[in-house]
Chain A
Amino acid sequence: MAMPALIENALANALTLVIDLDPALRDIVVLSLRISLTAVVVASLIALPLGAALALWHFPGRGLIVVALNALMGLPPVVAGLTVYLLLSRAGPFGELGLLFTPAAMVIAQVVLVLPIIAALTRQQIEALWAEYGEQLTSFGHGRLRAIPTLLWDARFGLITVILAGFGRASAEVGAVLIVGGNIDGVTRVMTTAIALETNKGNLALALGLGIVLLTLVALVNAAAYLIGESARRRLG
């Protein structure tokens, strides 16, 4: 298929998929969003306080954790997937839970991928903010623990971008969810694994069409976060 014709077909496919509200596509989109959003929320609940703590406390071994987090930001999704697979496999330590090839396993894999990004970038932002706020908050008589919620809240505009970066990685990756989810039709098939499958079938126009739908969704989530952030910024500075 020639390139212009392919792109034309892909756009037509994307439009048809969206306009027809294809039920299979809708299920895939809903599952993709649910898994990635859940993963980002779970990862944020851990990574935001963790990143803040790493910014505020200097303890032995802290450097090691910081370097490890920075390195894990580049963790290949396939490696994350393989690790989670080995943990959740029946022959692995958590096999009893029976989570392999379920959406929960995919959430776990994405948390592994996203947590280092959010934690490492949060540390940078909070460290910078602490340099500015540190004396004033100490003057208020705050301990560092008490300072964490204040710092996280006041860094919120930057942290939204950090969380969106995590969401981007979660929703874009295919290697990890393919291994731990199994790409089971109707159960663990998400946008990216569906795209990979259609590519493998040589159905490039449909694959690209799904890609356009995915890109549009990610763009919409980003736009929503941007608009909320902007209006809050205007109101609160």
Chain B
Amino acid sequence: MNTMATPCHTAPALTLDRVSFTHRGQRLLGEISLRLAGPGKTLVMGPNGAGKSLLLRLCHGLLQPTAGRVHWTTPAPHRPPRQAMVFQRPVLLRRSALANLTYALATIGTPFSQRRRRAWDALERFGLTTIAQRPARVLSGGEQQRLALARAWLLEPQVLFLDEPTSALDPAAIKAVEDAVNEFNHQGIRIVMTSHDLHQARRLADNVVFLSGGQLIEHTPAERFFASPDTRQAQAFIQGELIW
């Protein structure tokens, strides 16, 4: 990747104000108050069932909080920033790899005549030109996730959410995804990503949001989190102990 089409000058800030989420009478998350500002990469960590994916979906707007408020502070007020999300298991449409990209371009209103060329650019950036015409859903897991990243890139997001994007991939594919995440961030895109992999978090995180049992335990800069976390639970998590 060389240059982003639209570099971002001011990173939008996300504020969660006493947000909670209840499903069928059971509180799954919250209350959580949290502010994600600055241009960095936030890793949302925690054991299984901590509410990481749920938090990501609330931030992205796929789910509405039961109580509390999620709001953005952006240079253009009253308008949420352009966002995209990459899922643990990429959801690709039943069409060719190329068509999946032109579809995404159509959703953001790219003129028809430019879609094919820009989609092709994205395939080149992510090393996918050889599989352009192949049905997206028969690609390997790594290729599918790279295609999902290419698609997210075409959406020109200011914020990119990634939900466990590497959990089903082999080491080479994991490296490709992590390189892409770094490159995205280098281009000015705010990254919010969940992971349960400590090594991955160490490689990527600027700061860490640590959840457990639906509660926000701590939000700490990465260096401090991995060296001497503020809380006993985070300490136990890092030392590989099971906490519930």
Contacts and interface: CB of A to CB of B under 8 A. Distances in A.
Direct touch of chains A and B (CB < 8 A): yes
Interface in A143-181: 150, 154, 156-157
A139 B93 contact: no
Contact of B94 (A135, A136, A139, A236): A236
B93 A135 contact: no
B87 A136 contact: yes
Contact of B60 (A139, A142, A156, A237): A139
B95 interface: yes
Interface in B71-104: 83-85, 87, 91, 93-96, 99, 103-104
Interface string B120-162: 0000000000000011111000000000000000010000000
Contact of A142 (B99, B107, B155): B107
B134 A139 contact: no
Nearest to A233: B135
Contacts of A156: 94
Contact of A135 (B91, B99, B103, B136): B91
Interface class of chain B by DSSP: mixed
Contacts of A157: 94
Contacts of A94: none
Contacts of B138: 237
B62 interface: yes
Contacts of B96: 235-237
Contact of A237 (B83, B87, B135): B135
B107 A237 contact: no
Contacts of B57: 135
B166 to A, nearest CB: 18
A127 to B, nearest CB: 16
A56 to B, nearest CB: 15
- In the complex, which range does the number of interface residues on chain B fall in? 20 to 34
Nearest to A132: B91
B107 A135 contact: no
Given A138-B62, A139-B85, A237 B134 contact: yes
A141 interface: yes
A226 interface: no
A57 interface: no
Contacts of A141: 107
A154 B62 contact: no
Interface in A33-60: none
A138 B57 CA distance: 11
A150 B137 CA distance: 16
B125 to A, nearest CB: 20
Contacts of B99: 236
A140 B107 contact: yes
Nearest to B93: A154
Nearest to A138: B62
**A135, A157, A235 interface centre (most CB from chain B within 10 Å):** A135
A237 B94 contact: yes
Contact of B136 (A132, A139, A140, A237): A237
A133 B104 contact: no
A136 B135 contact: no
A140 B104 contact: yes
B137 A135 contact: no
A235 B137 CA distance: 12
A135 to B, nearest CB: 6
Given A235-B96, A237-B138, 7 more contacts: A135-B62, A135-B87, A139-B83, A140-B107, A154-B93, A237-B94, A237-B136
The 3 closest A-B pairs by CB, nearest first: A237-B135, A136-B91, A154-B94
27 contacts: A132-B91, A133-B93, A135-B62, A135-B87, A135-B91, A136-B85, A136-B87, A138-B62, A139-B62, A139-B85, A141-B107, A150-B103, A154-B93, A154-B94, A235-B96, A235-B135, A236-B94, A236-B95, A236-B96, A236-B99, A236-B135, A237-B94, A237-B96, A237-B135, A237-B136, A237-B137, A237-B138
